[in-house]
């Protein structure tokens, strides 16, 4: 069984704004990412979009890790997730990170940088996306 390969992109651009946007296409050599950005115009309540290309130094790619949270929201690298234990009383906020040398996604605790965990053994109803490391810096503060 193979997982779906999807990306989003964090953009911080004076012309096109700041945010996490859907990626339409990626050219990896050299890195050029085409992003779909809402342009603020509407036709019959349908928001129109622009396709804008960004180069390597202008974009941060977030890869979909193949798991959805308790609200069916896709989890991407760089997201902050709240993991709630089965007793529903205890939870820890984690950053989703990719471990290059081991080739898997892991959870790094926001409050204790040495506390690491993998996604093994968690049910999706224990995971909730609460933000990301680019737009929700307040979640990273102790």
pLDDT in tens, 16-58: 889 999 999 999 999 999 999 988 888 988 889 999 999 999 9
Say if residue 81 is in the same domain as residue 40: no
The pLDDT of residue 52:
94
Is the domain of 73 the same as that of 128? yes
Q: Output the pTM of the full model.
A: 0.86
User: Could you tell me if 36 and 99 lie in one domain?
Assistant: no
Provide the residue range defining the domain that includes 79. 67-140
Answer with the one of 60, 78, 94 that is the final residue of a domain.
Answer: 60
11 versus 2: the higher-pLDDT residue is: 11
Residue 115: predicted pLDDT: 61
Which phi and psi angles does 135 have, rounded to 5°? -110, -10
Q: Are residues 29 and 82 in the same domain?
A: no
Q: Is residue 1 part of a domain?
A: no
Beta bridge partners of 53: 34
Domain assignment present for 2: no
56: in domain: yes
Each residue's pLDDT tens digit, 92-123? 889 999 988 888 888 888 887 656 667 666 77
Asked whether residue 91 falls in the same domain as residue 132, the answer is yes
- How far apart (Å, rounded) are the C-alpha atoms in residues 29 and 84? 40
Provide the pLDDT confidence category of residue 4 given band limits of 50, 70 and 90. Answer: confident
pLDDT tens for each residue of 62-103:
999 999 999 999 999 999 999 887 777 788 889 999 988 888
For 75, counting Cβ atoms within 10 Å of its Cβ (0-12 exposed, 13-18 middle, 19+ buried), the class is buried
What pLDDT, on the 0 to 100 scale, is given for residue 111? 82
């Amino acid at each position: 069984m193979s997982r779906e390969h999807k990306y989003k992109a964090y953009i911080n651009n004076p012309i096109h704004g700041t945010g996490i946007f859907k990626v339409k296409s990626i050219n990896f050599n050299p890195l050029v990412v085409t992003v779909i950005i809402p342009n603020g115009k509407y036709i019959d309540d349908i928001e129109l979009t622009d396709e804008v290309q960004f180069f390597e130094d202008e974009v941060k790619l977030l890869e979909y890790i193949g798991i959805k949270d308790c609200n069916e929201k896709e989890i991407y690298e760089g997201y902050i997730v709240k993991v709630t234990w089965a007793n529903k009383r205890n939870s820890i906020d984690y950053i989703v990170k990719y471990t290059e040398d081991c080739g898997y996604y892991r959870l790094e605790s926001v409050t204790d940088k040495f506390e690491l965990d993998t996604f093994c053994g968690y049910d999706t109803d224990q995971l909730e996306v609460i933000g990301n490391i680019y737009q929700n810096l307040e979640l990273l503060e102790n």
